[in-house]
Amino acid sequence: MSDTESNKRRASGHHKDEPAKKRGRPSKAVLNSKVPENSMSRVQAQEMVSRHPPLSYSSQQEAWFYDELVPWPAQHDWDEEDDAAIDEEWNQSELKESSSRLNTSQYATLFLLFKISLRLYRTTPIVLLSPICALRYQAVSKNHFCNEWIMSGKFCELLSSLMVHPCWEENIGSLALALRWTVICRLDSRSAWALDVKLSCSILQRIFDKIKDHQVESLNISYHEMHKAERDRASGRDEPSSTLSDILYEVGEAVPKENAVRPKADPKYNSVFGWSVLPVTVWDLKVLAKVVNSMDFKPEWNYSVEDALSTWKVENSGPELPPQDRLSVIYMYSQKSVFRHLRLVDRQLTSVQGTEEANHDENQRSDPFSSSDDNGPQLYTSSSHHQGRRRAVVDDSSDKESESVSGTTGPLPKLRRRHAVTDDEDEDIAPVRSSDSDRPFDPLPDLEGDEDDDDMAGTFDDGTNLDSGEFLPQATKELDEFRPSGPTLAESLPLRPPASPLYVSLRERELLSEISELRQGQRRQDDLMLTMQTQLDSMQSELRQIKQSIQAPTPSQSNPPFTMPFGKPNTASESVLDEPDLWWQL
């Protein structure tokens, strides 16, 4: 064998100094090997997939499908001018530019989050992290590539792992409440963030009933202290607590003990699109994930959020709608539906407020003795937030955001457009006091690292199947078939509006309108009583005249009076009411 042939043979193999090949996306066989077929997480993932069929719509139905995911009010007026206003708001927002390049594998984790949210909850993460649920995304990375509107890869991965865990029972309201609760505990917010849906847990329902009725600027005690006291009272009555209450309690216990560096509270994230919200960070998701992992659930739920995400990728790895190359368009549809929802609610609030003011002015004109300090339309004016939907005011002449006006329930002036904030602005991060950190939980194996939120660069999902191509279902002809497969968000939530605190102020204002009508009825009743009193005085005057005429001296009265058997003289009646004939006249 020649040296040339020998060299050729050696060239066909791997050199000892040659770097190993980079691993690509794991195959389904590899994923299956990591998750046993009979594991509890695998069984639960299979059941969730079977309960929630894939999305089904044609390309012509796409815009309608995503618009209908956000419920419309029962009664609403909408025309072409409203559509034009929404298009203008979208074109003028920073979201349009930020979301224009999402159709790449760089945003695979964001795409996976969208698919999970749509499949399990029939909504999008855009709706979840919006004023509809009193939430928004807060970026905490110092990386100049970070975008304050587009969720980072780490954020998407954490939220995806939480979404696929069965402890929420595929209820977006429960997950949204847990996210709000975590942020409230981190910020120690004392504002009255009320809840507008009836909860199956009586403990939580009593808490939010008290919060809704709170009439001061801020709560006297923290949410966790209030929750803890209510749980103690329920325990004394042998009243069981719900799984959601247990999770929220553990969140309240875990937040002050968490030793990870907390993100700085940035006032600019306390509102979005003119509505007050609670900003969700990677820190909040990590704490909530640790709590879920530490919970002693029933056996079929007793596994980590990381296992939940791994099994979900195994069980839901086939092609389905939406395709990745439509992510930017779907983002636009979802955001426009949020704009539309807020526009309708704002219009209803303005309409109710105008009716109240008109009724109040009419009452002032009809009742000159009424003062401006009575408890009429001002009944709820001192309530704070009222579902976290108080408007905030920003002064354009200053870079500082003025304090949010929480003393009114009506729609105050919206946030005027803020100046652009540079991405390279550093954030000061203050550590938690050493006395507050005793590390109750073990750190997550895959979630450690710098607290800075990361960007999407270099993040790839194991189960997105980017090479599978677009799935094109058969076009439908009947209007009834345009319905998406599975329940929509409007159908899966209660008949009342979704977990949207925006509707609370509206109903309170309707209640105030009813109170105003009751006040008018009371005033009419007072006028009627005054008229009756005048008539009674007139009758009493006539009776006195009759009595005087009866008591006038007559010839027969000159005789001595006849003495009654009990010593009472036979004189005229001592009272008008003693006369039988007068009783008949009355």
Residues 410-422: tens digit of each pLDDT: 333 333 333 333 3
Tokens of 425: 């602005």
Residue 438 confidence (pLDDT) above 60: no
Cβ contact 134:387 at 8 Å: yes
**Backbone φ and ψ of 278, nearest 5°:** -110, 125
**What pLDDT is recorded for position 507?**
63
**Backbone φ and ψ of 52, nearest 5°:** -125, 95
The helix/strand count (H/E) of the chain reads as: 19, 4
Residue 151 confidence (pLDDT) above 50: yes
Q: What is the C-alpha to C-alpha distance for residues 260 and 182, in angstroms, rounded to an integer?
A: 15
Name the least confident of 95-104, 305-314, 431-440, 547-556: 431-440
Cβ contact 69:337 at 8 Å: yes
% residues pLDDT > 90 (the chain): 44
**What pLDDT is recorded for position 301?**
96
**What pLDDT is recorded for position 215?**
59
At 248-304, the pLDDT tens digits run 999 999 999 999 999 999 999 999 999 999 999 999 999 999 999 999 999 999 999
- In Å, what is the CA distance from 249 to each residue of 179, 182, 204, 205, 414? 13, 10, 11, 14, 35
Residue 211 confidence (pLDDT) above 70: yes
Residue with the bigger pLDDT between 35 and 3: it is: 35
283: nearest Cα among 176, 433, 155: 155
Tokens of 405: 């006006």
Summarize the confidence of residues 197-215 as an average pLDDT. Answer: 86
Cβ contact 69:125 at 8 Å: no
Residue with the bigger pLDDT between 172 and 565: it is: 172
At 492-509, the pLDDT tens digits run 444 444 444 544 455 666
Cβ contact 158:459 at 8 Å: no
Residue with the bigger pLDDT between 333 and 512: it is: 333
Tokens of 371: 């003062």
Residue with the bigger pLDDT between 275 and 18: it is: 275
Summarize the confidence of residues 105-116 as an average pLDDT. Answer: 95
Q: Sorting pLDDT into bands at 50, 70 and 90, what band is 143?
A: confident
Give the best-scoring range by mean pLDDT among 214-228, 289-303, 311-325, 556-570: 289-303
**What pLDDT is recorded for position 35?**
75
Q: What is the C-alpha to C-alpha distance for residues 118 and 66, in angstroms, rounded to an integer?
A: 10
Q: Give the dihedral sign, CA 118/120/125/126.
A: positive
Cis geometry, peptide bond prior to residue 487 (ω within 30 degrees of 0): no
Residue 144 confidence (pLDDT) above 50: yes
Specify burial of residue 242 (Cβ count, 10 A radius: 0-12, 13-18, 19+): middle
**What pLDDT is recorded for position 161?**
98
**What pLDDT is recorded for position 146?**
75
**What pLDDT is recorded for position 525?**
84
At 187-205, the pLDDT tens digits run 999 998 877 778 889 999 9
**What pLDDT is recorded for position 93?**
93
Summarize the confidence of residues 235-259 as an average pLDDT. Answer: 96
Summarize the confidence of residues 56-66 as an average pLDDT. Answer: 94
**What pLDDT is recorded for position 440?**
37
User: What residues are paired with 563 via a beta bridge?
Assistant: 569
Residue 171 confidence (pLDDT) above 90: yes
- Output DSSP code: residue 426: -
Q: Output the DSSP codes for 147-163.
A: -SSSPPHHHHHHHHHHH
Q: Where are the domains of the chain?
A: 26-341+431-492
Residue with the bigger pLDDT between 388 and 363: it is: 363
Q: What is the C-alpha to C-alpha distance for residues 295 and 303, in angstroms, rounded to an integer?
A: 9
**What pLDDT is recorded for position 445?**
41
Mean pLDDT of the chain: 73
Residue with the bigger pLDDT between 461 and 370: it is: 461
Q: Sorting pLDDT into bands at 50, 70 and 90, what band is 109?
A: very high
Residue with the bigger pLDDT between 32 and 17: it is: 32
Residue with the bigger pLDDT between 345 and 475: it is: 345
- Output DSSP code: residue 500: -
Residue with the bigger pLDDT between 216 and 463: it is: 216
Q: Sorting pLDDT into bands at 50, 70 and 90, what band is 10?
A: very low
At 39-51, the pLDDT tens digits run 899 999 999 999 9
Cβ contact 213:508 at 8 Å: no
Name the least confident of 57-71, 103-117, 368-382: 368-382
Q: Sorting pLDDT into bands at 50, 70 and 90, what band is 371?
A: very low
Name the least confident of 91-100, 126-135, 298-307, 386-395: 386-395
**What pLDDT is recorded for position 364?**
52
Residue 231 confidence (pLDDT) above 80: yes
Between strands 271-272 and 275-276, the pairing is: antiparallel
Residue 346 confidence (pLDDT) above 60: yes
Helix residue spans in 213-281 (DSSP H): 223-236, 243-254
